[in-house]
Structure 1
Amino acid sequence: MTMNTMTIREMCDAFDVTPRTLRFYEAKELLFPIREGQKRLFTKRDRARLKLILRGKRFGFSLEEIRQLLDLYHMDNGREEQLAKTYELAEKHLADMEAQKAELEVAIGELKEQMAWGAQRIEELANGKTVAA
C-alpha cells in the first residue's frame, strides 16, 4: 500500500468486508478503484465512500439512496444538499426502525408471557399436578 492507495486485501482487512463485496460495489458504480491489470487500487476517496456505504447500509438505506447521496457530493453546493437529503432519509429510517422496535417489544413481551406459562406448566407436571389447558 502507498500512502494514497490500498489493495483489495488491505481494504477487506480495514473495513471487514469480503473481496466480493468490494467488487459488487464497484460493479454498482459506488466505488471506482484504479485498475492496474487485474489489480485494484483503492484511493482515499474510495475509502471514504466505502465508509459511507457501510454506514448507510447499517442504517437501512438502500443502495440507490446511498448512490444518490454520494452523487450529491459532487454537485455545486453538494455538501449542503447532501446533508439535507441525508437528514431527510435518516428521519424516515429512524421512524421505520422505531416502529420495528415497538413491534419487537410487543412480540418479546408476548413470548415471555408464553414462556412463563410454559415454565409453570412444566413445573406442575414435574410435581405430579394435573394441568388444565
Structure 2
Amino acid sequence: MATFTITELAREFDITPRAIRFYEDQGLISPSREGPSGRNRVYTARERTHLKLTLRGKRLGLSLADIKSLVDMYDSPKDTAPQLQSFLQVLARHRAALELQREDIEIMLAEISAHEEESQRLLGLAAPDVAEIVVK
C-alpha cells in the first residue's frame, strides 16, 4: 500500500506541513505514527484523499465543521443517497451565504461609485481654485 510523508503531501498540494498538522488537530486526517517515539507521520492513500477533500472544501469556502462532516461521509459505508442529500444541504447553505455576501458587495460597490463620482465632480469644481493658488 502506498504511503506518504508530511513533506510529500505538503509539496503535492502546495501547502505547509503546519497546515497538514492543523487539519490533523481538527480531526480531518489521522496519520499513523512510526519511528522513535512515534514522531514520524505516515499517511495512507485514504489520508491523502481526506486531505484532498479538506482542501477542496476550503476552496469552496466551507467551514471546518462542514468539511469534517463531508470527510466523515466519505468513510461511511452507508447508502450514498443520504450522504449526497447531506452534501446538497451543506452546499445550499453555503450558496445562500455567498448570495448574501454578493448582495452586500454590490451595495458597497454602488456606494463607492457614488463617492467616486461626487469626488470627481467636486474636483472639477475646485480645479480653477487650485490653478489660481499654483500661479500665485
TM superposition score category, shorter chain reference: 0.7 to 0.9
Which string of whole-angstrom CA distances, capped at 9 and with x for unpartnered residues, describes residues 9-42 of structure 1? 1211211211111111112221122322322222
Q: Percent identity?
A: 37
Report the equivalent of 1:56: 57
Report the equivalent of 2:133: none
Contact 1:31 1:50 in 2 (8 A): yes
**Distance in 2 between residues matched to 1:45 and 1:91, nearest whole Å:** 27
Contact 1:25 1:31 in 2 (8 A): yes
Larger relative contact order, structure 1 or 2 (CA cutoff 8 Å, min sep 6): 2
The letter of the residue matching 2:6 is: I
Aligned partner of 1:31 among 29, 32, 40: 29
Unaligned runs of 5+ in 2: 131-136
Q: Which of structures 1 and 2 has the bigger CA Rg?
A: 2
- After TM superposition, the structure 1 stretch with the greater mean CA deviation from structure 2, 91-100 or 36-45, is 36-45
**Distance in 2 between residues matched to 1:51 and 1:21, nearest whole Å:** 13
Contact 1:5 1:44 in 2 (8 A): yes
Report the equivalent of 1:128: 129
Report the equivalent of 1:7: 5
**Distance in 1 between residues matched to 2:82 and 2:112, nearest whole Å:** 45
Q: TM-score, normalised by structure 1?
A: 0.83
Contact 1:73 1:79 in 2 (8 A): no
Report the equivalent of 1:81: 82
Verify: 1:109 aligned to 2:110, yes or no: yes
